[in-house]
Amino acid sequence: MSHYLHITVDLLFGFAGLFVFNQVLGKAHFSKLTPFEFVAILVLGDLVGNAVYQPDVTAAQIVYGILIWGLIIYAIGRLTLKSKKMRTLFEGEPSIVIRRGHLQYDVMRRNMLDLDQLLSMLRQQGYFSLREIEYAVLETNGMISVLPKRPYGPPTRADLGLHGVGGRVPITLILDGRLQSDNLGKASLSEPWLKQQLADRGITSYEGVLYADWDPEEGLFVMPHQ
């Protein structure tokens, strides 16, 4: 009887610890997991599961284990918020697997993605032929984002009799206060021009910008830090 009581108490403490862990880390960590977050959750579940059925493990030790593991994940989460390098290290970067209607075989090989898998993922997004795809991006959580060619996507501005060019992907110029120099060159823009655009908006440095991108049709979009 005491053994069952021990399991019950440990489960209650484990549940309480996991509930606090979830509240502290936030909902985003459990929506669509990156590979690192997936491993972190597996380790956490294994930690609690093994501890519950070990008679010599106390409830306090379970809570302590959850606390230490939670602090490690929380610290890494804070680092990834502040540093793009750390974010890339732990979360990876999105990969363009279809660019302008053409498969990027080297990118697919790096991500261990074969054609059958790609076609399956596209079908789940509602696209049944590669001819329909302008861009496809493999996200860090393993999902795929699709920009269809104009004939296969939602009604475009041209369909509505409006001027404009479809099938464009905005180019990120500033991310978390850091200039994306390579992207600036791809957009055929100069840094003095960008600084002047920011100055016109009352922003004196890149650190004052959370996010900025360039679209040839719609121009520069800037989201300052709050």
* Residues 49 and 72 occupy one common structural domain: yes
What would the pLDDT profile of 87-114 be if each residue is shown by its tens digit?
777 777 899 999 998 999 899 999 999 8
* C-alpha–C-alpha distance, residues 99 and 137, integer Å: 9
Q: Which residue range(s) make up the domain with 35?
A: 2-89
pLDDT grade, residue 176 (50/70/90)? confident
Q: Are residues 76 and 34 in the same domain?
A: yes
| Same domain for 46 and 13 | yes
Domain end point (choices 103, 122, 152): 152
Q: Are residues 180 and 220 in the same domain?
A: yes
Do 44 and 119 lie in a common domain?
no
Judgement on whether residues 58 and 134 belong to the same structural domain of the protein? no
**How many domains does the chain divide into?**
3
Cα–chain center distance at 5: 42
85 is a domain residue:
yes
Task: State residue 194's pLDDT score.
Answer: 93
Beta strands in the chain (DSSP E): 95-99, 102-103, 133-138, 144-148, 171-175, 178-179, 209-215, 219-224
Enter the pTM of the model.
0.52
Assess whether 7 and 84 both reside in one domain.
Answer: yes
Q: Is 191 within a domain?
A: yes
Residues 157-164: what's their mean pLDDT? 62
| Amino acid sitting at position 141 | N
Q: Is residue 186 part of a domain?
A: yes
Regarding whether 82 and 16 lie in a shared domain, the answer is yes
163 found inside a domain: no
Q: Is residue 165 part of a domain?
A: no
Distance CA 20, CA 13 (A): 11
**CB neighbours of residue 139 within 10 Å:** 14
- Domain shared by 69 and 99, yes or no: no
Spatial separation of the C-alpha atoms in residues 171 and 95, rounded to whole Å: 14
In a domain, 21, yes or no: yes
Query: Is 49 a member of any domain?
Result: yes
Q: How far apart are CA 60 and CA 43, in angstroms?
A: 18
Written as six digits, the tokens of 60 are 């306090």
User: Which residues on neighbouring strands pair with residue 147, listed in sequence order?
Assistant: 135
One domain, residues 122 and 79: no
Neighbouring C-beta atoms of residue 70, cutoff 10 Å: 19
- Please list, in sequence order, all residues whose beta carbon lies within 8 angstroms of the beta carbon of residue 108, skipping any fewer than 6 positions away: 97, 114, 115, 118
Does the residue 101 lie in any domain?
yes
Mean pLDDT value of segment 198-214: 91
Asked which of 89, 110, 129 is the last residue of a domain, the reply is 89
Helix (H, G, I), strand (E, B) or coil at 102: strand
Contact of 212 with 171, CB cutoff 8 Å: no
**Per-residue pLDDT, 145:** 93
pLDDT band at residue 146 using 50, 70 and 90 as cut-offs: very high
Q: 120 and 195 share a domain? A: no
| Residue 123, CA atoms < 13 Å, CB-side half-sphere | 7
The enclosing domain of 105 has a CATH number of 3.30.240.20
Both 45 and 102 in one domain: the answer is: no
From 89, 108, 140, the end of a domain falls on 89
Q: Round to whole Å and give the CA distance between 176 and 208.
A: 9
